[in-house]
Chain A
Amino acid sequence: MNLVTVIVTLVQVILFAALAPLLVGVMRQVRARLEGRAGAGVWQPWRDLRKLLGKEPVRARGSSWMLRAGPLVLVLSSLVLAALLPLVTTVAERLVTGDLFVVVSVLLIGAVALALVGLDAGTAFGGMGSSRHMTVLALVEPTLLLAIYALSIPTGSSDIATIVEARLEDPSIIVSPVGLLAMAALVIAVVAETGRLPVDNPSTHLELTMIHEAMLLESSARDLAWLEFGSWLKLGALLGLVGNLLVPWGVATSTDALPVLVGAAAAGVKVLVLGALLAAGEVLLAKLRLFRVPELLAGSFVLAFLAVAVSAMVS
């Protein structure tokens, strides 16, 4: 660990923090255009954040310090996630290695904080949202672990940066049968983890179906801004991970200035393109009934499991 590595990691975190609201703006805009609406413009999430951050939060009487701390924990966990994942560079000697298990537990910390925020005020909707969120999470985490684990077998390391580097050097890993199965499972797990469409509709406040929005109902102003920002950053970082695993070209493998700049530009483009594709796909999808969600996630778990078993047998 040296100064250059710290600076490169900072560049990555700041890039993704700046990119996350833009990403959500682009996704909403794509969706609006495809549905024949004008849309609010790609900078609207930034404006929303600024407005919310300038307001004084109103908290329910009887709510605890969790309502105050939860949003910050979520944002911090997302920032750590953006620092851990190999989004701009794959340089290994970072502050903490972006090991698969570390990444999943950081994801879990943010998710638990969010669920506690939902439970804190003791309202019906918040509790309902939290319980659903935890149910989905219990099914998503094993899939996520197993999918990345399947990707790690050909490279012999559970460090995600090493996995991305190995895929950059030997593209045949990407298109192998095992790689395809694991990527399909990973994409479904990421979609479920970030609460996108077949699992949760991010743009609805219909009480029967909402998961993510239900947990935010009791938050306002600063708290709400941090919760939204943390979720967006998580979406951005996970999309960046998927982008780098699918198309590893462009990611920097050293800490020199030029590769890092190219890597930052490539990461930005990949995340925005993936986000636009995801939003376009969401237009065609209907939300899955809540009791069908375990079926979807079981399917993705089976794909990941098959990938692990097959690659263990082949190697």
Chain B
Amino acid sequence: MTESTYAELIGLCAGALLLTSVLTVWYRSQRASIRALALQGVALAALVAVVAVDRSEAELIVVAALVLVLKGMVLPWVLSRRPAPATGAPAPPQRGAGSAGDHGAGDHGAGDHGAGDHGAGDHGAETPMLNPVATLVAAALLGIVAYAVIWPLVAGSASPAAHAAPVGIAMVLIGFLVLVTRRRAISQLVGFLALDNGIATVAFLVSGGVPILIEFGVSLDILLVTLILQVFSRRMRAVFGDTDVDRMRELRD
């Protein structure tokens, strides 16, 4: 692979990562932001594959496959599983039953036709704590902060991968932003996974990844955390009918 192709591919992957992390903030519907997260996982896997081919390390190819399967497919699939309605309780109204144009739901934040479906399913529209435009502006500012802080550190380096490192930091910050501004448990999980993707991106861009054993360990950790939180939020939904964290301030019998 020539130097310029390598730089272009790294740039493409980094751009896709940054774009998808802004998309997770932008999309209001949970299904759409989970889809953006899946795209981010695929972009991360592509980035790892590019680094692997450039360094000609077979180990990294395995890591790329692992990332693709875990972050591109398994985690989004776990997240997007619809929680089953609680047994014994009356079945929740079908989402989108009365709203025309449900086929377009979820694209470009348009998945909010049924504004009245709050609580009808965890996959409906999110009502963030900050209004969407303010969140987007905050995301842009975080991206700028990431570049302003990290760029002086990597500007001296000749490697194109290091030049893309601020993207990883921006992803971490934007992940944090999603984590603190969303109300629903699953949306917060999306933020957490975006944050983790950011950490992985920085690792791969700066040092060509961590040793494969640690990579396996971290991946397993993430998978377990996601599974546990998913089960937990399903339990929450079954008991309270909602996973809005704000409504769960008190302990009850």
Asked if A and B are interacting partners, one says yes
Question: A: which residues have CB within 8 A of B?
Answer: 171-172, 175-181, 184, 198, 284-289, 292, 294-296, 298-299, 302-303, 305-306, 309-310, 313-314
Look across to chain A and name the residue whose beta carbon is closest to the beta carbon of B22: A303
Bound Cα distance A299, B139 (Å): 10
Beta-carbon nearest neighbor of A175 in chain B: B12
- B118-155 CB contacts (< 8 Å) to partner A: 132-133, 136-137, 139-140, 143-144, 147-148, 151
- Whether B7 pairs with A172 at a CB distance below 8 angstroms is yes
Which of B54-62, B102-110, B184-192, B209-217 binds A?
B102-110
Range for the number of chain B residues in contact with chain A: 35 or more
B108 to chain A, nearest CB (A): 5
Tell me which of A172, A177, A294 contacts B18 (CB under 8 A): A177
- Known A-B contacts: A285-B107, A286-B110. Give 6 more (CB < 8 A): A179-B11, A180-B19, A292-B112, A298-B132, A305-B140, A313-B148
- The majority secondary structure among interface residues of chain A is helix
Q: How far is the CA of A33 from the CA of B143 in the complex (A)?
A: 42
Q: Does A313 contact B147, Cβ atoms closer than 8 Å?
A: yes
Residue of A nearest to B151 (CB): A313
Residues from chain B with a CB closer than 8 A to the CB of A289 are 112
Chain A: CB-nearest residue to B148 = A313
Closest to A313 in B: B147
Contact across chains for A171 and B8 when beta carbons are under 8 A apart: yes
Residues of chain A lying within 8 A (CB to CB) of residue B199: none
Q: Which of A181, A198, A284, A306 contacts B144 (CB 8 A)?
A: A306
Tell me, rounded to whole Å, the shortest Cβ–Cβ distance linking B149 to chain A: 10
Contact partner of A288 among B15, B16, B110, B140, CB < 8 A? B110
Q: Give complex CA distance A299, B138 in Å.
A: 11
CB-nearest residue of chain A relative to B142?
A: A306
| Cα-based distance from A181 to B17 in the complex (angstroms) | 10
A284 neighbours in B (Cβ, 8 Å): 103-104, 107
**Chain B CB within 10 Å — which of A177, A179, A294, A306 has the most?**
A177
Q: How far is the CB of A82 from chain B (nearest CB, A)?
A: 29
